[in-house]
Amino acid sequence: MSLLNAYSVAAAALVAVGAYCVASKRNLIKIIIGIEIVTTAVNLNFIAMGLRDGVLDPLASMYAAISMAIGAAVAALALGLVLQAYRHYGTLDSSKMSRLRW
Amino acid sequence: MGPQDVLALLFGSSLMVIVADKLGRRLGAAKACGYVTVAALAIALLMSLSAAPGRYKPLPAMGIPVAELRVDEASRIFSVLFASLGLLVAIYSLKYMEGEEGLGAYYLLLLLMVTGMMGVALSNDLFTLYCFWELMSVTAYALVAFRWWHWEPIEAGLKYLVMSTLGALVALYAISMIYGVAGTTNFDELRSLFTTLDDREAIRLLAGLLLFGFGVTAAIAPFHTWLPDAHPAAPSSISAMLSGVVIKAGVYAIARSLLYILPPTSGIGYLLMYVGLLTCTVGNLAALRQLDIKRFLAYSSVANIGYIMVGIGAGYRAHLLGLTHFALAGVAGATLHVINHALGKGLLFLCAGSAIHVIRSRAIPDLEGCGRSMRITGISSAIGLLNLAGIPPLAGFWSKLLIAYGLVGMLWDPLTTAALAIFVANAILAAGYYIYLLMRLYRHKTTGASEVSPLMWGPELVLAAACIILTLLLSQVLVHVYMGASALMGVMG
């Protein structure tokens, strides 16, 4: 059982990229792109973990498919909120939206 | 009747809410969707009370090997708590949300949020738990941002969404690695597989990822920052749900995955204990400087999650050292505190909602004296405050005592002694500011506030009565809580 294959390494790298994107970007759309990258990375990791001797466990592809649907729901809600935020503030810069602090 | 019937009922009635909303608006009965929600939650509460313990496979015929559900003493305590608070909040909303835009969407989201929480408590499979977790989270984000025409709910909702989604994804990443190691996500199979696994480093990594993943929604420090923003922005009924039960679903997921699935590993017990202490210290200190009643209550929820995490950490560490008696005391104290805090904080948010509804201000100085003019709300909130302050005869005292007792078994260890000292100091500080808030609410001052409608004070009175009944029946409650703790840890008590 080799859990450390090319796919799982790529997934770990994508998680890092997505987390960096969420942490460092100020544009709300870019933050959501970061979340989507992490979602994709986790889906890829399910596939990587389901690979046993070159054969894919159907459970893994089912997990990835369901997780994609959930990710789409979250993305839709997030974009809706970003749209409303843009209407309120006239900007997508998250650092301008800091009225809520302490 | 099994847990799948409860979940099917809740999903089915969420469709009925849509129909009732469309029909009701045409017939001039805008509240019809609210009545459907109340009825569905009442039936779900009765069904989850009567569900027999065991494992259930609702989808065997389709050849799907996952989606297994379970009922044991712990998941029953949590699911009954979720359903009953959901029911009371739905009744409260009938009056509180009257005349708002989009009532159909509100009740639909509320019902689906309760469904998600029940699913979290009843699932016996990590991926099923994640699906219900996201159902709960997504509806919670939408409910926080329900009054989208103001800037505050949108900003708070976005902050909550970004933080909590990242947390859930970290947890899902850990779940995918668990699946890779074990080839399954079933709780019982994982438990037996992991006891034979010797790789402590891997287990430590997985436990850390799961703790921080689920911990964002459970509002453990330093990931608690969404909570004090989300609570004031949401409608008060939703604040009661968030503080009362949504963060408890996070606690349940942490307790279930760390105590039941993964074998005890050194280091994680300290991590849980000290994360808990950090959480309650941050919560208590930040609560001191709040002038907004809902922010105050939100920070005190952070503090209470801290106590619960200390209890779980004490149980974890005592279990690792083989001190089953103290381990059970710690986890049972945490479970009892979950019940106490769900009832007490739900009650306080509903009372705050009533007072804000009448006075139209969230500032504590404006609310002074309303305990005298709003009698039933005042008395209910007094009971809630005293319960959470841990004034001795009330149940809030005994849960903190049990958590402290869980720590007492390891007093030879200086780190645990320090933890006990910080814990007790926090409990005393919290008691101080709760009593201070109570005195301000009962200050002599004319407010012109009058009591709200029975649909709003009714749920408050029920929750206040529940706090007292919990105290009167403490011996029976303790038996159930201990059974819940042993089910959560998978040990015989």
CB spacing of A89 vs B151 below 8 angstroms: yes
Average pLDDT, chain A: 86
In DSSP terms, which residues pair with A52 in a beta bridge? A55
Domain that holds residue A51: 6-96
Instruction: Check A102 against B162: CB less than 8 A apart.
Output: no
pLDDT of residue B22 exceeding 50, the answer is: yes
The pLDDT of residue A82 is above 80: yes
A15 CB near a chain B CB, below 8 Å? yes
Distance in angstroms between the alpha carbons of the first and the last residue of chain B:
27
Do residue B152 and residue A42 have CB atoms under 8 angstroms apart?
Answer: no
**Which tokens in the block code for residue B73?**
């003493």
Size of interface A-B (CB pairs under 8 A): 98
Of B134, B180, B229, the CB nearest to A100: B229
At residue B247, the pLDDT reads 92
Instruction: Flag whether A102 is in a domain.
Output: no
Comparing C-alpha atoms, which of A99, A71, A1 is closest to residue B169?
A71
B328 φ, ψ (degrees, to nearest 5):
-65, -40
Q: What is the ipTM of this complex?
A: 0.94
- How much is the pLDDT for B433? 87
- Which residues in B lie closer than 8 A to residue A102 (C-beta atoms)? 286
Chain B hits for A42, CB-CB cut-off 8 Å, are 169, 172-173, 176
The residue of chain B with its CA nearest to that of A32 is: B162
pLDDT at A76 over 80: yes
Provide the token pair at B428.
Answer: 């005393």
Number of domains composing chain A: 1
The pLDDT of residue A53? 77
| pLDDT band at B492; cut points 50, 70, 90 | low
Tell me what percent of the residues of chain B surpass a pLDDT of 70.
97
> Which residue on chain A is closest to B144 by alpha carbon?
A81
- Asked whether residue A30 is assigned to any structural domain, the reply reads yes
Exposure on the CB side of residue B253, measured as CA atoms within 13 A? 38
Structure letter (DSSP) for residue A93: B
Helix, strand, or coil (residue A37) = helix
CB contact under 8 A, A88 and B151: yes
Q: Is residue A27 part of a domain?
A: yes
Distance between CA atoms of residues B216 and B133, nearest Å: 12
Residue of A nearest to B282 (CA): A102
Please give the DSSP secondary-structure letter assigned to residue A51.
E
* Cβ atoms B416, B410 nearer than 8 A: yes
Nearest to B299 by CA among B244, B224, B223, B353: B224
Structural domain includes residue A88: yes
3-state secondary structure of B148: coil
Domain membership of residue A78 (yes or no) is yes
Least confident of A32-36, B1-5, B88-92: B1-5
Distance (Å, whole) CA B173 – CA B179: 10
Strand partners, B412: none
Q: Which string of DSSP letters, residue by residue, matches B160-224?
A: HHHHHHHHHHHHHHHHHHHHHHHS--BHHHHHHHHHT---HHHHHHHHHHHHHHHHHHHT-TTS-
Q: What is the pLDDT of residue B209?
A: 92
Question: Token pair for residue B298?
Answer: 């939100």
Q: Do B179 and A66 touch (CB under 8 A)?
A: no
Mean pLDDT, to the nearest integer, of B460-477?
A: 90
- B169 and A46 within 8 Å at the Cβ level: the answer is no
Q: Report whether B378 contacts B441 (CB < 8 A).
A: yes
Contact at CB, B177 and A82, closer than 8 angstroms:
no
Distances (CA, A) of B264 to B12, B320, B397: 40, 5, 29
CA–CA gap between residue B487 and residue B328 (Å, rounded): 10
Q: Is residue A101 part of a domain?
A: no
Q: Please indicate if any CB of chain B lies within 8 Å of the CB of A22.
A: yes
The answer to whether the beta carbons of residues B407 and B416 sit under 8 Å apart is yes
Q: How many Å apart are CA A16 and CA B458, to the nearest integer?
A: 50
Does B181 sit within 8 Å of A100, measured CB to CB? no
**Residues B249-275, mean pLDDT to the nearest whole number:** 89
pLDDT of residue B493 exceeding 60: no
Asked whether residue A17 is domain-assigned, the answer is yes
Give the gap in angstroms from C-alpha B7 to the nearest C-alpha of chain A. Answer: 18
Cβ atoms of B356 and B293 within 8 Å: the answer is: yes
The rounded mean pLDDT for chain B is 88
**Mean per-residue pLDDT, B303-307:** 93
Confidence class of residue A89 from pLDDT cuts 50, 70 and 90? confident
Return the H-helix or E-strand segment holding A56. strand A55-56
Read off the CATH number of the domain in which A47 is found. 1.10.287.3510
Instruction: Please enumerate residues of B whose Cβ is less than 8 A from a Cβ of A.
Output: 64-66, 127, 130-131, 134, 138, 141-142, 145, 148, 151-152, 154-159, 161-162, 165-166, 169, 172-173, 176-177, 179-181, 183, 229, 233, 286
Return the residue in B68, B172, B178 with the most chain A beta carbons within 10 A, the one to mutate for interface testing: B172
Buried/exposed code over B132-143 (b: 16+ C-beta within 10 A; e: otherwise): bbbbbbbbbbbb
- pLDDT band at residue A102 under the 50/70/90 scheme: very low
CA distance B176 to chain A (A): 5
- Partner-chain contact B142 A85, CB within 8 Å: no
The alpha carbon of residue B311 is apart from the nearest alpha carbon of chain A, in Å, by 28
CA distance B263 to B261: 7
CA B150 vs CA A24, B154, B463: distances in Å = 27, 7, 31
Q: Per the CB < 8 Å rule, is B180 touching A67? A: no
Mark yes or no for CB contact A59/B66 under 8 Å: yes
CB B364 within 8 A of CB B291: yes
Residue pLDDT, tens place only, B97-136: 887 888 889 999 999 999 999 999 999 889 999 999 999 9
Sign of the torsion formed by the C-alpha atoms of A43, A46, A48 and A52: negative
* Residue B449 pLDDT > 50: yes
Is B158's CB within 8 Å of A99's CB? no
pLDDT tier, A15 (very low <50, low <70, confident <90, very high otherwise): very high
Q: Per-residue pLDDT tens for B105-114?
A: 999 999 999 9
Nearest to B172 among A42, A89, A99 (CB): A42
Rounded to the nearest angstrom, the minimum Cα separation between A47 and chain B is: 9
Which residues in chain B touch residue A46, judged by CB atoms under 8 angstroms apart?
A: 176, 179
- Given pLDDT bands bounded at 50, 70 and 90, which one contains residue B249? very high
pLDDT class of B288 with cuts at 50, 70, 90 = confident
The partner residues of B56 in beta bridges, in order of sequence, read B69
Q: Is the pLDDT of residue B168 over 50?
A: yes
Amino acid at B106: Y
pLDDT score for B359 = 82
Asked if the bond preceding B222 is cis, omega within 30° of 0, the reply is: yes
Give B90's pLDDT tier (boundaries 50, 70, 90).
very high
Residue, of B392 and B449, whose pLDDT is higher: B392
Tens of pLDDT along B367-422? 777 777 788 888 888 999 999 888 888 888 999 999 999 998 888 888 888 888 99
Contact B312, B259 (CB under 8 A): yes
Residue among A38, A82, A85 minimizing CB distance to B169: A38
Residues in chain A: 102
- Cross-chain Cβ contact A100/B159 below 8 Å: yes
Residue to test with chain B: of A26, A42, A57, most B Cβ within 10 A: A42
Q: Which of the four pLDDT bands, split at 50, 70 and 90, describes residue A5?
A: confident
pLDDT at residue number B303: 92
Summarised one tens digit per residue, pLDDT across range A38-71 is 999 999 999 988 888 778 888 888 899 999 999 9
Across the interface, whether the CB atoms of A38 and B158 are under 8 A apart is answered no
What value does the mean pLDDT take over residues B256-265? 88
Contacts of B66 in chain A (CB under 8 A): 59, 62
User: Quick one: closest CA in A to B288, which residue?
Assistant: A102
Query: From the CB of residue A4, how many other CB atoms can be counted at a distance below 10 Å?
Result: 10
Are residues B3 and B78 in contact, defined by beta-carbon separation less than 8 angstroms? Answer: no
Q: Is residue A1 part of a domain?
A: no
The span from the CA of B94 to the CA of B452, in Å, is 13
B16, pLDDT greater than 50: yes
Residue B293 to residue B306: CA distance in whole angstroms:
20
Q: Does A35 touch chain B (CB under 8 A)?
A: yes
Provide, as residue numbers in chain A, all residues whose Cβ is less than 8 Å from the Cβ of B155.
Answer: 85, 88, 97, 99-100
| Residue type at B54 in one-letter notation | G
Residue at A71: amino acid letter:
G
Partner residue opposite B176 with nearest CB, options A28, A42, A89: A42
Q: Is the pLDDT of residue A1 over 60?
A: no
Residue A86, token pair as written in the block: 């843009």
